[in-house]
């Protein structure tokens, strides 16, 4: 029987990063994957969506290129080429992970895995393997629309199918206005598709602050996206067009429907009960050290609690390894940034305004608009703001950014908050000019009562 220090089930950003980190720490590692290396993130999530969003934003910029002194005639969207580029990016990055596995002497076992007992894993196509430690990184899959009659399924898609469409539809109804639904809405809208969003809650991107939700709603509406909040889809029938009946007697019609109502952990078929691993509310139960049983099995990423994000899965993966190596690290998601690739982008770290107000009645907020940033203005990206929230001791309670580059910019705020930098100290950091990062200089000075370009 093959034997390892560590066997990892799943090669998404949780599993593969964990594998590389463990192997760099001298453990003998195998990663078992039943589908494509890279998991949801690389094959059906972060990377393909962001490749398409990048293509769409190039198209979006061309629309007003004339205003910047660039005359372009006859440009149009070549959706097939866009999809091909997305596939090229994914294939290239997948090959990169496989190369890293080889370079680090990690065995990649392309089979279905299930736990036989605490130390043994059964494989679908070869003999069992043995491991001192096991990390379960089985990820998640799209959730189904509960209680809704869906008939004539053609054209009703999850995000998985939406990423392999052959043609750009003329119209699409997106069921679910969370992060994934809104990113797709923004993408399709940029490409000229007629988009409607139906959301059960009373706002878009419910996990973010009310201000970000409202601003996004206003921007989306201005761009012609139909938004139906506090609305429930009651039935989806027919095709050409598909008819979507929505609570309140509304009937929408579109060529495609994208169901984007969340994700559920992929815990079935893993033989968890054989190793004393428990599942509650669909998620593998872990302790603060990510141990899934009292012994040697850990679980990470989308199949446990916490935000469903690739970087959180990777963080988990490294933390679990550190604990296997005896370092005793407890998980803490309070500095995991949120990044939303709508147009404009939205990002945040720490508490939302609502959470921060509850925790600190004396919360202080500094806001600076993109409109007043030289770099944002010259780029024509004036839609947006940074909101910096501080507790009474001047610690960073939370940061929210909406606007161009928000998902990259949040890195600085994440570093500052993780390192426990006080807002006063942050205001002494020198930022290059003209850059979007100057928004931090402005916001920290507004916070300190010494605004420079802000009011
Ligand atoms: P996964 O990536 O789901 O990987 C799990 C792997 O385990 C899969 O490859 C699966 O085949 C394998 N597996 C499962 N069971 C077995 C078994 N029994 N045997 C062998 N192999 C098994 N997150 C971000 O941070 N940024 C984004 O921009 C972003 N965009 C997204 C866009 C979309 C459309 C979607 C759907 C998700 C997006 N996410 C994003 C979320 C992100 O993809 C997930 O949080 C991340 O992939 C979770 O990583 P993971 O390693 O836990 O699981």
User: DSSP characters for 137-188?
Assistant: ---EEEPP-TT-EE-S-TTEE-HHHHTT-SS--SEEEEE--SHHHHHHHHHH
- Percent helix, strand and coil across the chain, each to the nearest 5: 35, 25, 40
Give the CA distances from residue 383 to residues 216, 349, 370, 437, in Å, rounded to whole numbers and listed in that order.
10, 20, 6, 16
| Mutation test residue for ligand 1: of 21, 42, 45, the one with most atoms within 8 Å of CB | 45
How many whole angstroms from 442 Cα to the centroid of ligand 1? 37
Is the CB of 13 inside a 6 Å radius of any atom of ligand 1?
A: yes
Residues in the chain: 455
For residue 141, give the ligand 1 atom closest to its CA. 3
In the chain, the percentage of residues whose pLDDT exceeds 70 is: 98
Strand order in the sheet with 149-150: 149-150, 233-237, 242-246, 250-254
Give the CA distances from residue 389 to residues 355, 413, 414, in Å, rounded to whole numbers and listed in that order.
11, 11, 13
Mean pLDDT, range 48-55, rounded to an integer: 98
Q: Assess whether pLDDT exceeds 60 at residue 152.
A: no
Q: Assess whether pLDDT exceeds 70 at residue 87.
A: yes
In this structure, how many other beta carbons lie within 10 angstroms of the beta carbon of residue 334? 10
CA pair distance 352, 358, nearest whole angstrom: 10
Q: Assess whether pLDDT exceeds 90 at residue 240.
A: no
**Contacts made by residues 331-334, CB under 8 angstroms, sequence distance 24+:** 331/288, 331/289, 331/290, 331/306, 333/306, 333/307
- 131, 116 contact by CB (below 8 A): no
Smallest CA separation from ligand 1 atom 29, residue: 46
In this structure, how many other beta carbons lie within 10 angstroms of the beta carbon of residue 99? 10
Helix (H) or strand (E) holding 375, with range, is helix 374-379
CA pair distance 260, 282, nearest whole angstrom: 18
Q: Which residues are catalytic?
A: 433
DSSP bridge partners of 142 = 263
The mean pLDDT of the chain is 96
Per-residue pLDDT at 321 = 98
φ and ψ at residue 103, rounded to 5 degrees: -60, -30
For residue 140, give the ligand 1 atom closest to its CA. 3
Q: Assess whether pLDDT exceeds 80 at residue 150.
A: no
Of the ranges 74-83, 153-162, 357-366, which one carries the lowest mean pLDDT score? 153-162
Is the CB of 351 inside a 6 Å radius of any atom of ligand 1?
A: no
Is the CB of 45 inside a 6 Å radius of any atom of ligand 1?
A: yes
Q: Do strands 346-350 and 396-402 pair parallel, antiparallel, or not at all (unpaired)?
A: antiparallel
Q: Assess whether pLDDT exceeds 80 at residue 197.
A: yes
Per-residue pLDDT at 153 = 64
pLDDT tens sequence across 271-329: 999 999 999 999 999 999 999 987 899 999 999 999 999 999 999 999 999 999 999 99
Is the CB of 33 inside a 6 Å radius of any atom of ligand 1?
A: yes
For residue 307, give the ligand 1 atom closest to its CA. 45
Smallest CA separation from ligand 1 atom 8, residue: 39
CA pair distance 152, 88, nearest whole angstrom: 32
């Amino acid at each position: 029987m093959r034997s390892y220090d560590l066997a990892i089930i799943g090669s998404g950003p949780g599993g593969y990063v964990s594998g590389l980190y463990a192997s760099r720490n001298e453990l003998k590692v195998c990663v078992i994957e039943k589908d494509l290396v890279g998991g949801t993130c690389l094959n059906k999530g972060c990377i393909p969506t962001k490749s398409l969003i990048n293509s769409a934003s190039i198209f979006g910029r061309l629309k007003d290129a004339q205003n910047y002194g660039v005359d372009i005639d006859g440009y149009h969207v070549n959706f097939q080429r866009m999809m091909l580029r997305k596939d090229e990016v994914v294939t290239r990055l997948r090959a990169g992970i496989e190369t890293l596995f080889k370079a680090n002497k990690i065995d990649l076992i392309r089979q279905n895995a299930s736990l036989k007992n605490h130390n043994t894993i059964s494989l679908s196509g070869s003999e069992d393997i043995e491991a001192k430690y096991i990390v379960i990184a089985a990820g998640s899959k799209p959730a189904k629309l509960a209680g809704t009659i869906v008939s004539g399924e053609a054209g009703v898609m999850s995000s998985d199918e939406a990423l392999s469409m052959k043609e750009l539809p003329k119209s699409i109804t997106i069921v679910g206005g969370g992060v994934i639904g809104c990113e797709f809405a923004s993408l399709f809208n940029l490409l000229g598709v007629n988009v409607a969003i139906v959301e059960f809650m009373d706002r878009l991107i419910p996990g973010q602050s009310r201000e970000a939700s409202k601003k996004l709603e206003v921007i989306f509406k201005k761009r012609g996206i139909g938004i139906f909040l506090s609305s429930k889809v009651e039935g989806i029938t027919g095709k050409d067009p598909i008819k979507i009946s929505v609570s309140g007697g509304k009937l929408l019609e579109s060529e495609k429907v994208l169901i984007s109502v969340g994700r559920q952990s992929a815990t079935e078929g893993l033989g968890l009960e054989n190793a004393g691993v428990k599942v509650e509310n669909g998620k593998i139960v872990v302790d603060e050290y990510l141990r899934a049983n009292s012994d040697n099995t850990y679980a990470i990423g989308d199949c446990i609690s916490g935000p469903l994000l690739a970087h959180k899965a990777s963080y988990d993966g490294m933390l679990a390894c550190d604990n296997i190596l005896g370092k005793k690290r407890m998980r803490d998601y309070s500095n995991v940034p949120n990044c939303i690739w709508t147009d404009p982008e939205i990002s945040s770290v720490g508490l939302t305004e609502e959470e921060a107000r509850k925790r600190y009645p004396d919360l202080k907020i500094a806001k600076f608009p993109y409109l007043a940033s030289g770099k944002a203005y010259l780029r024509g990206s004036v839609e947006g703001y940074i909101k910096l929230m501080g507790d009474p001791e001047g610690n960073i309670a939370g940061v929210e950014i909406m606007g161009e580059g928000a998902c990259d910019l949040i890195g600085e705020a994440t570093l500052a908050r993780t390192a426990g930098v006080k807002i006063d100290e942050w205001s002494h950091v020198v930022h290059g000019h003209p850059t979007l990062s100057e928004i931090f200089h402005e916001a920290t000075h507004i916070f300190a009562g010494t605004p420079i370009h802000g009011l």
